[in-house]
Amino acid sequence: MTGQENAMNPILMLCFAIALTGCQSLPSSDEGNAKDVVFLKREHCLTDYIEDLKRVHFGPCLTVQSVNGHPPATRPDGFIELPVNSRTSLGVYCTYRSQDNTVKENSTIYTTVVFPYDQFAKAGIRWYLHAHTDVLHGKGCKPTLSRSSRG
């Protein structure tokens, strides 16, 4: 091995360790079952790689500002715990980004979304918010839920 290859090994090891740590920091379904809660990502920014254009498209970021009128308690992993079988009202900011990943001027919209008591019926599940209102033009904010980070 050359000296440069030896220098790369610690860097690769560090990247692997960070990636592994990131995977392990997600809340587990066992923890949610024990606490009788679901997990909602407090901030979720949508980003997609568009193969045809060979570039990243930066979608909106949704941030939970309040849960039932109170600031959310955010876990170190970025999730909020919500009780199962409980009506939940979320105050959410939608912020749209330009293609250089900067915030579009006057694009931050605040909205309230209310989920019925049976929306979160099974403990231990991770949920993510997505915006599905004219996302390409940066208008509107009607958050929807997904059990996937990709939507």
Residue-by-residue DSSP string for 12-49: HHHHHHHHHHHHHTSPPHHHHHHHTEEEEESEEEEEEE
| 134 — pLDDT class (breaks 50, 70, 90) | low
Between 12 and 82, name the one with better pLDDT: 82
Q: Is the dihedral of CA 110, 116, 118, 123 positive or negative?
A: positive
The answer to whether the CB of 143 falls within 8 A of the CB of 111 is yes
| 138 — pLDDT class (breaks 50, 70, 90) | low
> Given this model, what pLDDT does residue 40 score?
96
What are the helix (H) ranges across 25-148?
29-35
> Given this model, what pLDDT does residue 12 score?
38
Report the share of the chain in percent with pLDDT over 70.
77
Domains of the chain: which residue ranges? Answer: 39-147
pTM over 0.85: no
Average pLDDT over residues 88-113: 90
Phi and psi at 149, nearest 5°, equal -75, -15
Helices (H) and strands (E) in the chain, counts: 2, 8
Q: Which two three-digit tokens encode residue 22?
A: 């990131």
> Given this model, what pLDDT does residue 133 score?
59
